[in-house]
Amino acid sequence: MRLAVFSLAIYAVFEFILSMPPEISIGSMSIPTPSLALRALAPPFRFYSRFGLVVVFGMFALGAIGSHKFASRLNISMMKKPLAVTLVLILFFIDTSIVPPSRANDISQPPEVRKKLGLIDHKAPVCIYPINPRHYEMEISYYYFQKFHQHPMLNGAKPWATAYQYSMVITDLFSEYTPEALITLGARYAVVLSDYFNKQLPGKLKFDPNRMPARFKLIEKAKDGYIYEAISGHADAVPLFVSGFTQLVFLEDGNAWTAMLERESRIDIINHAAMPLRKTLKITLINPGPEATLSAYLDSKDVGKVNIQKGVGEVTIPDLALEKKKHTLTLKWDGTPVKESGELFRMESVIDLFLVFSKVSLN
């Protein structure tokens, strides 16, 4: 029996270690764990918490042995043992059961703003904001409540699929470029769930309708959100973050930002017009390190260099000649990266942060 207990304990501890993320951050220090090797050997094991199920099995086995030993020492009769087990099971079911309203959410009725959306033309595609929220359960609710409003949605793209790259273009609600980009992607309405938006950074982020671009027309207001219609414009060229960037995340200023993680990163520019175009690329950025130079190359052709000081600034790359095709814009940064926690950008380890981008637009 002692060997069994010892083996199960070792087994549970081993599986617990494997269930940990590949790296653990303590302050500015990043500590690798054994699951880092597992990620290299078996990439399909993306969710390390799955090993937690095996840990629970080991704990159950240890609990069963402990209960048996405990009952033996108390000299409980064979008649009373089933009663003791039944009592434990009853307590277990009470502890894990759903007891409305303390452990249940009423989802029989949709939020008010989604009821109002259900009264609008069901054939019109919509985009629910925030797009790609920090909390996964928020986006799950988008799909559930779709049965009430019955609109096609632009939400739900998987990270770094082509659809996700397009969704990054329309993530920032307060960008002047977003209404025309929405129209280009076929959406007519932007539905803002203000409570969900505020929960991106609780206590630090709050949706402000006064910051909405002029080409978003407010058509419905509810206690829990807003419905806007994109009323004009069409983005005949769209910039897509392809490689070297994190997912877009909302920061305290209410804008969506992406971190540049590689010294050389790539943005694809898609010309959707029926003719060649001349466009100016504008980027709001943050340089967290010392002054350095950002170089831009369109299809390997040098299109400009700019020195960027530390802090917030804006970069403009004028007169980009865009034929009717996909173009590759390569950005090269010769500055020194800054070590930062990746948690803000939904990354588990410390990252090399070169630049932070927001409000990328083509005009």
Concatenated DSSP letters of 173-226: TT-TTHHHHHHHTT--EEEEEHHHHHTTSTTT----GGGS-TTEEEEEEETTEE
Looking up tokens 């659809």, which residue turns up? 163
* Pairwise CA distance, residues 108 & 114, whole Å: 13
Name 11's bridge partners: none
**Where do the domains of the chain lie, and which CATH numbers do they carry?**
2-96 (no CATH), 112-230 (no CATH), 237-362 (2.60.120)
Is 136 or 10 the better-scoring residue by pLDDT? 10
Point out the least confidently predicted range of 38-42, 144-148, 303-307: 38-42
What backbone phi and psi angles, to 5 degrees, belong to 340? -140, 155
Which helix (H) or strand (E) segment is 296 a member of? strand 292-298
Whether residue 30 has pLDDT greater than 80: no
Query: What pTM was computed for the model?
Result: 0.71
Q: Are 55 and 12 in contact (CB under 8 A)?
A: yes
**Stretch 78-91: mean pLDDT:** 77
Q: Among 35-44, 81-90, 186-195, where is mean pLDDT lowest?
A: 35-44
Given pLDDT bands bounded at 50, 70 and 90, which one contains residue 39? low
Average pLDDT score over the chain:
84
Residue 40 has a pLDDT of 61
Each residue's pLDDT tens digit, 45-60: 555 566 667 777 777 7
Q: Which pLDDT tens digit goes with each residue over 146-190?
A: 888 889 998 888 776 888 888 888 988 888 889 988 998 889 899
Q: Which has more pLDDT, 198 or 232? A: 198
> 267 with 329: CB under 8 angstroms?
yes
Q: Is the dihedral of CA 147, 151, 155, 157 positive or negative?
A: positive
Residue type, 298: L
Which residues touch 45 (CB under 8 Å, ≥6 apart)? 38, 39
Question: Greater confidence, 93 or 153?
Answer: 153
How large is the average pLDDT for residues 29-42? 68
58: how many CB neighbours lie within 10 A of its CB? 19
Residue 252: count of CB within 10 angstroms of its CB:
11
pLDDT recorded at residue 329: 95
Q: Among residues 164, 180, 259, 181, which one has the least CA distance to residue 215? A: 180
pLDDT at residue 49, rounded to an integer:
60
> Which pLDDT band holds residue 92 (cuts at 50, 70, 90)?
confident
Give, to the nearest 10 degrees, the angle between helix 51-73 and helix 2-18. 150
